[in-house]
Structure 1
Amino acid sequence: MAGERASSGPVRIIGFGEVMTRLATQGRIQLPQAAALDLHVGGAEANVIAALAALGHAAGLVSAIPANPLGDGAWRALSAAGVDLRRSRRAPGRQGLYFLAPGGSLRASEILYDRAGSAFAVFDWSGFDWSAAFEGAEWLHVSGITPALGPSLARATQAAMRAARALGLRISFDGNYRPALWESWDSDPRGILSGLVREADLFFANHRDMALLLGQPFSGDGEARRREAALAGFAAFPNLQWIASTARHVETSDCHRLAARIDTPATGFQTPEIVMPGIVDRIGGGDAFAAGVLHGLLEGEAPERAAALGLALACLKHSVPGDMALFTRADVEGFSGAGTDVKR
């Protein structure tokens, strides 16, 4: 089993972030009318690591998961996905929650967070031994959500990234800018995020993220604007080797068009759009894209192939409920975007 394989030896990629419980309304009704909620386990970094474990990578997570029944469920779900949790801790406190009212037709989905004071947020990371946690690993994955949770987690994210760089790990950073989280404390998102991106090799970000970090707009439209933003990012953050993003066009809540892009200092590549009708659940699509790109790069694929694999996994994620994209290599590498009849 994947979980047995992942826990039996060193891990190749490690994520650092909060594991959350999602509570979603049924039948696309709004939260005030809900009489029952569906429960799923997720979290930005956990979604990426679980997807990579499903793809056969030895993948682990550093987190603080509450020692209560909701934490038990989260621990079991990640273990079942094959995630190595030996570096995670069970801690006192509450589980971070978020509530989802899925959209319909021209009504957008709505998310309500209830994560303040969670076990992960209040855990004392100051004495955590990052060097021991990263022993034998090749890659660290983090996102901008974790440092947005407060000053102690901003410091912890920086400590993790600096330790990883000192040990020679490659680092991926997903911008995941969440204004409400940053605005809940006396924060400096541009300064903090810029310091973290300086440590990264791979940055998941689009032109809007780069404009936030660099304090400048980018001209043009479409691919030209993204290339201009990427070049500015490579100039500002010399450790970066890749910048990856998606371009999404929303027609209705059930039908989106999605393309993937990856830039290097030398060139940029953007895939054709794929139309996704009949969307089941778009939450976690960005994390699936990140996992697919990381899968390609971990396998030594060329950047354009990594982008295509990221797009494939992102599209597949839209076909299943929940936050996690637990698909096999055969699913991702055989994805065509054309739809298929029943597999028999």
Structure 2
Amino acid sequence: MRQKIVTFGEIMLRMTRPEKQRIIQGSTWDGYFGGSEANVAVSLAMLGNDVEYVTRLPDSQLGKACLNELRKYNVGTRFTVHGGERMGTYYYEDAAAMRGSSIVYDRAGSSMTTVNKGTISWPDVFADASVFHWSGISCALSQGAADVNEEAVCEAERQGLTISFDINYRKNLWKYGKSAHDILLPLAKKCDIMFGTEGEWQLLTGITPPKFTATSPDFTFDMQRHEEFFGKVKEMFPKCRKMILALRNALSANHHILSGVLWSDGAIYPAHVYDIDNVIDPMGVGDAFIAAYLHALLKFSGDCQKDVNFALTASAVKNSIPGDFNLTTEEEILELL
């Protein structure tokens, strides 16, 4: 029986100034490997799943260090291909008080941005897989990366895999002349599970979701408005069976209200509302959500309310962990839940 989960995307080296210094300050950096789909893979492996992460890396000491980091968490890397001159890097400035976070990307010409069709043997990758997860970031990198991602989605559909999609829109990545809407919409129609924030759902569908204005855990969801929203979205994506609206209200840099709403086969399940008043590192919070949801979907036998609450709890915990990876076990999440 197929059990493996496959994710695909670019992993990068993230450089962050310690103690919330600005990028132009200081003389030292904290370095972390990370990237949306790699974050999902590590989270899934931490939760006990058989997971394979597919990417393209340079055949260099940095590329080897990256693979070693993934393998440390039991993430499969046997379908990683080598090529290109460099690994992408980004520089991250932590938010503090009223100052927002900031990111400077240095990923032009990276191994993943220069990948081309035919580089990865997707029939071999998916031979023993049950789920394929991808995100819009891969399609934003270059036409070549978008083409490889399309190859993967089409092969996964041909083999009958469950296809999971995180919209993951990054405005400053779409630089090669194509719009996110035009590239992502046809591929999204092939997916069974879709995940996104309020802004990402609106970008993809043109439909405005209900606004999340929570300032405390006492927030009440307007279920009728959510039913109307998901009903319209379902008309656009008839194949999709599970849709997740990820919700976050940042009251300050270190105080966030977190929740989410699951639409599953016509029914709606609002998650708990978490008040997180000491955010340590918000990077990878959405990735933690979707990884935990996929785990719950496979593990908890159709208990939709438990699935979304488990996913949200994992996402909330990630706010307390430095770096991009959610290094949390199923037992820890269930205890907190």
1:34 to 3, 26, 36: 26
| 2:294 is the counterpart of 1:303 | no
Residue 225 to residue 205, structure 1, CA distance change in 2 (3 Å):
farther
- Give the SS at the match of 2:173: helix
Aligned partners of 1:132, 1:277: CA distance in 2, in Å? 46
Aligned partners of 2:198, 2:257: CA distance in 1, in Å? 18
- Give the SS at the match of 1:203: strand
Residue 10 to residue 234, structure 1, CA distance change in 2 (3 Å):
closer
Q: What's 2:281 paired with?
A: 281
1:99 to 91, 94, 103: 91
Query: Which amino acid is 2:80 matched to?
Result: S
Residue 92 to residue 153, structure 1, CA distance change in 2 (3 Å):
closer
1:185 to 176, 181, 184: 176
Contact 1:218 1:228 in 2 (8 A): no
Gaps of 5+ in 1: 1-8, 337-344
Contact 2:88 2:108 in 1 (8 A): yes
Query: Which amino acid is 1:322 matched to?
Result: G
Q: Percent identity?
A: 29
Aligned partners of 1:211, 1:278: CA distance in 2, in Å? 29
Query: Which amino acid is 1:330 matched to?
Result: E
Aligned partners of 1:211, 1:226: CA distance in 2, in Å? 13
| 2:328 is the counterpart of 1:327 | yes
Per-residue deviation, residues 95-131 of structure 1 (Å, max 9, x unmatched): 1111111111121111111111101111233242211
Aligned partners of 2:227, 2:13: CA distance in 1, in Å? 37
- Give the SS at the match of 1:172: strand
User: Aligned-pair distance for 1:218?
Assistant: 5.2
- TM-score using structure 2 length: 0.92
| 2:58 is the counterpart of 1:66 | yes
Residue 311 to residue 46, structure 1, CA distance change in 2 (3 Å):
same
| 2:254 is the counterpart of 1:242 | no
Query: Which amino acid is 1:324 matched to?
Result: F
Which residues of 2 match residues 76-155 of structure 1 at below 5 A?
A: 76-155=68-147
User: Aligned-pair distance for 1:191?
Assistant: 1.6
- Give the SS at the match of 2:10: coil
- TM-score using structure 1 length: 0.90
User: Aligned-pair distance for 1:219?
Assistant: 6.8
Aligned partners of 1:271, 1:286: CA distance in 2, in Å? 14
Aligned residues: 327
Contact 1:244 1:261 in 2 (8 A): yes
- Give the SS at the match of 2:41: helix
Q: What's 2:216 paired with?
A: none
- Give the SS at the match of 1:245: strand
